Structure 1
Amino acid sequence: MKSVFATLALLLVSAFSAHVAAEPTYQAVAAELVKPRDGLGNVLAKLEAGETVRVAYLGGSITAANGWRVKTTAWLKQKYPDATIEEIHAAIGGTGSDLGVFRLERDALRHRPDLLFVEFAVNDGGAQPDRIWKAMEGIVRQTWATNPETDICFVYTFRVNYEEDLRQGKCPRAASSMEMLADHYGIPSVNFAKKIVELEADQKLTFKSDQPEEGKIHFSKDGVHPLDAGHEIYTEVLAGAIEQMAADAQPVDHAAKLKNTFVKDHWQAAKMVPINSDMLSGNWKALPDDAQLQKSFGKRMGQIYEATEPGSKLTFRFRGSTAKLYDLLGPDGGQVIISVDGKPGTKPVPRFDSYCTYHRIATLSVAGNVDPEEVHEVTIEIHPEQPDRQPVAFRLKNPEEELKAPKYQGTKVRTSQILVLGDIVP
């Protein structure tokens, strides 16, 4: 009898284990130019039928440039002249999938894309595989939870130092991590970087040069951001991949793929919540539409709030594991004290760094590794002292004088949204 119960128990454990996917273990993946997997059947059917097709491009500066994104849209219009192609520009320079997953709804999904290209292989280059999986899986699951007929395609761009892995036939770490996720969900991928390395090996291209070399394609000046010829290669590779997938395209309902996760703690719950006046105290003000920073960043950030006086506070409550602010760094940026559940941080956090000769979008982590089932209160207060400006001095011609200019004075903090893994609680 004992053996019967033991056998039954073993069968129950085995059945349960079959429904609980083991957490993945990273391994380098063989680099292939195109992996069609489940293809792009849904969007290709709409293109062939001459319907309106919305194509979203989510990525960093390589996608934000007027390069492969613009050229791909133009190619689609030429290839499918009866269709109406609408481009959704959802790229922000200097950002990776860890921000992309939070801004996906605002920048892409609310525009109802039929096809979503995701380009983060360069900007995620320094991230660990588990972080990449959490964010990228969040992007995939948010997209298909919104519309299971939206097709997704991962694209992998090149940067100098990726060539060693690719010469050995392997994807670099970020692309390998994404390939493992793409295998799980059947997402097609296109490896632009592989083509660049092949051309360089054939002595037809230089990765990085200030000046073009006779007889060779001048890919980039910095080893990362392609010149026009580089973007042309990316577009040609992608066009060939789409034509390859069109040969046997079949529509797919992606909803069934959401049944099994790749990692259990993915970031599907990531969202962006606008700051409102009830959260603010002190001298915060909503920047008017004609303010330069609102004009420059409002399309991405929404309504930007600015405070200049020490003691001004932003306070909110959330239930979840992580909260960040979507904010701006800049030459007049101040610093803040962050308190979580009444416990202030040990030192102020500057909204200024060594790149701050100009303003740019950033994120400020304000709460992490907290109990996701509990409600947490966060307060961000402007510190009375401005941060040290010396980190930017090496970028200036005359730092001793320039750092005294009004441009580099102030304790200003500017923010617009709360990025939360969870929910804001009134």
Structure 2
Amino acid sequence: MLRTCTFLAFFCCNLLFLPAYSQSHLNDSFEGAELSDWKGFERYDFNFQGRKARLIKPKKALPGKPWIWRARFPDWHTTADSILVAEGFHLAYINTDNLYGNKVAVKVWDDFYQLLTSEQDLQDQVSLMGVSRGGLFIYNWAKANVDKVACIYAEAPVLDFKSWPGGFGEGEGSAKDWIRLKEVYGFASDEEAKNYTDNPIENLNELPSKRVPILHMIGLKDQIVPVAENTLPFVEKYIKSGGIATVVTSIDGEQNLKGHHFPIQTPRLVADFIKYNSIKTHTFASENYHTINGGIHNASKKFTSNKTGRVAYLGGSITHNNGWRDSINNFIQEQFPEASIELINAGIPSMGSTPSAFRLDRDVLSKGKIDLLFVEAAVNDSGNRRTSQEQKRAMEGIIRHARNSNPEMDIVVMHFVDPEKIASYNQGLIPEVIVNHQEVADHYAIPTINLAKEVTDRINAGEFSWEKDFKNLHPSPFGQGIYANSIITFLTNSFTKSKLINEETVHYTIPEKMDRFAYSSGFLLDVKEAKIAKGWHHDPEWKPADSLKTRPNYVNKPFLIGNEGAKSLKLKFNGTAVGIAVASGQDAATISYRIDKGEWIKLDLVTPWSNQLHLPWYFTLASELENGDHLLEIKIPESLNEGSQNKACRIRYFYVNSDQKFK
């Protein structure tokens, strides 16, 4: 089965916007070059070894002078090229068009590379771009020069000349080009050509093992260069050999030349892929933002020795959404290709550490033994205004509950970024939520990745900006790439260290609780456990009557609903904490509740976001009860809703912290 690395390469976008420097004219080696304009940039056309060549220069080159090298059809689909030149890349081309990437062409490219890297001081590693038959050019040169290649972008590439121009598969081929190809390769017959075994599709050399990232744009209806004979088997082989590969299919817009010509809707994606993989210098090493503590040795050993494993992600919308998590999934699978690793996404939008502590059992631990758990809650904990005490109780609860379920489980806590955290760091303050989560992580020797600080420092250094690049606390593809790069760096270092040390599996010792009321035995309780009274009813598949949005698992699901005037429901429970998980929309009621016949307490279920959606929200009603049996009562007094219509309390779950549950 074809597996594409959907986010690892192109969603790890351009990491650096570095200060540029001015450049001189072409050296004497290019004397006589014809100067012209190319989209506002200087284009130099000249002859090299009797072949037409060109070099397009940016107005200000990036440090290191990264460059793109196009093969064949240099004026086809040049939007990504122009983006990169505008951002400081050189763009080169030499005509070896009728050599189809043979040994003569590779030798010409060798010499041209030497000229540009020595005479023009271009970067040692180049990004290759090939269209159609250009696939033969770039891959044949790349195979012979693995260490000189930063990355490869190919569009509808030919990867097996038997497919095109040979036409020995589903495609019609090109009789004229097939004759010419046999001639320049020195084949005496069709059979000799068919027996050739050094096409890119047959021989990848060290490209995958050296992890040269590749990106292909393809048209699924391509009848000239059929994808089933070129990109699809090639990429599958590339991935199975340990390489990093991304495939983007073009399905929109006009498909011309029997599907071989198709529009590129995402040139920025191509530019970002090349930029990220071409610029090698990082002002700030991600390792500086990683606290190793006890590390994650066990997971590496389990994946290597047992050939099985289970990785889970617990967090809010930044975990729920596609992006960094996909990159980490692919990275782990590529690091342990022989292991069967189950991947669990337990990210739910708006959920911080408190909801995670109580849904951990249902959403993660119930899936089986977890070997590696990623946890993030810093953005929602601060955005949802959870108190410091609750932040620590919940994070400690997650860690203790997870380790109690599997004392060999490795855990990583991540501190993600938002504008408030950037502002705090810029005032010389560590964000309170990061202080709280870090304190818990350090107590339990859990490694952490401080992406909030890393992003802040790199923004301040001018590498990129929040507004144009990162854009939001729900990161842009660029921001997802920043996250993925840092986490992958952490994992790379951790896995490498584990393999070198080769220690036995560690049975982690769980220290004393920091807070005796930590939510270390949290779970969700079905609403049918409550004894309801007049004004309450069970709706097996509630959905809103208004136009407000909803969230998954909080619509068309069972709810316990109480309306204005509802009498006191009763819930008997055992434990130290109790709460309600509700759908809080614009019609959320104000309830009254009490524990063990105590004083009635009023609680408004409206949140700052209730006018936008029926938001899943966890209201903790008591958190410091003596461990034992208790009674919760909830009612909705009419007097609290004067002047309002159709107020309701919609309970999806009760939640309880009870040691008795997990004995």
Is 1:321 the counterpart of 2:576? The answer is: yes
Match of 1:189 in 2: 448
Q: 1:242: how far off?
A: 0.3
Equivalent residues of 1:333, 1:412 under 8 A apart = yes
Alignment of 1:54-69 (within 5 A): 54-69=310-325
Residue 649 of structure 2 corresponds to residue 377 of structure 1:
no
Could you list the per-position Cα deviations for residues 294-330 of structure 1 after superposition, in whole angstroms to 9, with x for gaps in the alignment? x954379974223346324421123443321111111
2:326 aligned partner = 70
CA drift of 1:278 comes to 5.2
One of 333, 337, 340 as aligned partner of 2:588:
333
Aligned letter for 1:351?
L
What corresponds to 1:241 in structure 2? 490
Distance 1:301 1:365 in 2: 24
Q: 1:108 aligns with which of 364, 378, 397?
A: 364
- 2:307: which partner in 1? 51
Q: CA deviation at 1:168?
A: 8.2
Please give the alpha-carbon distance, in whole angstroms, between the structure 2 residues aligned to 1:411 and 1:233.
44
CA distance in 1, matches of 2:465, 2:652: 42
For 2:343, the equivalent position in structure 1 comes to 87
Q: Determine if contact 1:50/1:80 at 8 Å carries over to the other structure.
A: no
Deviations for 1:191-226, whole angstroms, at most 9, x for unmatched residues? 21232123212212112x2xx3xxxxx1014xx221
For 1:387 and 1:420, the matched residues in 2 are separated by 28
CA separation in 2, counterparts of 1:142 and 1:49?
26
Structure 2 SS opposite 1:364: strand
Q: Are 1:50 and 1:84, in contact at CA under 8 Å, matched by a contact in 2? A: no
Residue pairs, 1:262-411, within 5 angstroms: 262-276=514-528, 279-282=531-534, 284-289=536-541, 296-298=551-553, 303-308=558-563, 310-345=565-600, 347=602, 349-357=603-611, 358-370=613-625, 372-373=626-627, 375-384=629-638, 387=641, 409-411=645-647
Structure 2 gaps of 5+ residues are 1-286
Q: Does 1:226 align with 2:482?
A: no
* Contact 1:36 1:187 (8 Å CA) reproduced: yes
3-state SS in 1 of match to 2:540: coil
- Report how many residues are paired: 364
Counterpart residue number, 1:215 = none
The alignment partner of 1:248 has SS state of helix
After superposition, residues 248-259 of structure 1 pair within 5 angstroms as 248-249=497-498, 250=503, 252-255=505-508, 257-259=509-511
Aligned counterpart in structure 2 of residue 158 of structure 1, from 417, 421, 424: 417
TM-score (norm 1): 0.75
Task: Indicate how the Cα distance of structure 1 residues 311 and 153 shifts in structure 2: closer, same or farther if over 3 A, else same.
Answer: same
- Kindly indicate whether residue 653 of structure 2 is the aligned counterpart of residue 417 of structure 1: yes
Cα deviation per residue 1:255-291 (whole Å; 9 max; x = unaligned)? 4x21433344432133322222552233544433585
Residues 1:176 and 2:443 are matched in the alignment: no
Inter-partner Cα distance in structure 1 for 2:346 and 2:555: 9
Deviation at 1:243? Answer: 0.5
Asked if the contact 1:272/1:419 (under 8 Å) is kept, the reply is yes
Q: CA deviation at 1:180?
A: 2.7
8 Å Cα contact 1:40/1:251 also seen in 2: no
1:124 aligns with 2:381: yes
Aligned counterparts of 2:656 and 2:484: Cα–Cα separation in 1: 35
By how many angstroms is 1:251 displaced? 5.0
- CA distance 1:301–1:182, shift in 2 (3 Å): farther
**3-state DSSP of counterpart to 1:152:** strand
Question: 1 CA distance for matches of 2:581 and 2:620?
Answer: 9
Q: Structure 1 residues 64, 388: CA separation in 2 closer, same or farther (over 3 Å shift)?
A: farther
The AA in structure 1 aligned to 2:506 is: D
Q: Percent identity, please.
A: 25
Could you tell me how far apart the structure 2 residues matched to 1:386 and 1:330 are? 17
In 1, Cα distance between the equivalents of 2:571 and 2:659?
11
State whether residues 337 and 344 of structure 1, in contact with CA within 8 Å, keep that contact through their aligned partners in structure 2: no
Q: Deviations over 1:15-45 (max 9, x none)?
A: xxxxxxxxxxxxxxxx941222222122112
The one-letter code matched in structure 2 to 1:412 is A
- Partner-residue secondary structure (3-state), 2:658: strand
CA distance in 2, matches of 1:339, 1:191: 40
Q: How far apart are residue 106 of structure 1 and its match?
A: 1.1
Q: State whether residues 121 and 157 of structure 1, in contact with CA within 8 Å, keep that contact through their aligned partners in structure 2.
A: yes
Read off the aligned partner of 2:377 and give its amino acid letter: F
Check 1:289–1:80 CA distance in 2 against 1; reply closer, same or farther (3 A cut).
farther
C-alpha distance in 2 between matches for 1:356 and 1:412: 13
Q: 1:352 to 1:203 in 2, by over 3 A?
A: same
Code of the residue aligned with 1:272 in structure 2: it is L
* Structural mapping, 1:132-143, within 5 Å: 132-143=391-402
Structural RMSD (CA): 3.3
Measured after TM superposition, the shift of residue 140 of structure 1 is 0.9
Q: Secondary structure at the match of 1:262?
A: coil
How far does residue 240 in structure 1 lie from its aligned partner after superposition? 0.8
Cα deviation, 1:138-162, whole Å, max 9, x if unaligned, reads: 1111011111122100111111232
Per-residue displacement from partner, 1:37-74 (whole Å, max 9, x unpaired)? 22212211233347332221111222222222233223
SS of match in other structure, 1:258: coil
1:6 aligns with none
- Residues 264 and 336 (structure 1 numbering): CA distance in 2 closer, same or farther, change over 3 Å? closer
Q: What CA distance in whole angstroms lies between the structure 2 residues aligned with 1:168 and 1:355?
A: 28
Shift in CA distance, 373/119, structure 1 to aligned 2, threshold 3 Å: closer
* Structure 1 contact 132–177 (Cα < 8 Å) conserved: yes
Residues 1:300 and 1:83: Cα distance change in structure 2 (over 3 Å): farther
Residue deviations 1:152-194 (CA, integer Å, cap 9, x gap):
0011111123235546887433223322322222211112123
Residue 409 (structure 1) shift:
4.2
Contact kept in structure 2, 1:107 and 1:300, CA below 8 Å: no
Distance 1:238 1:424 in 2: 37
Distance in 2, matches of 1:245 and 1:74, equals 16
Q: Structure 2: how far apart are the matches of 1:67 and 1:46?
A: 26
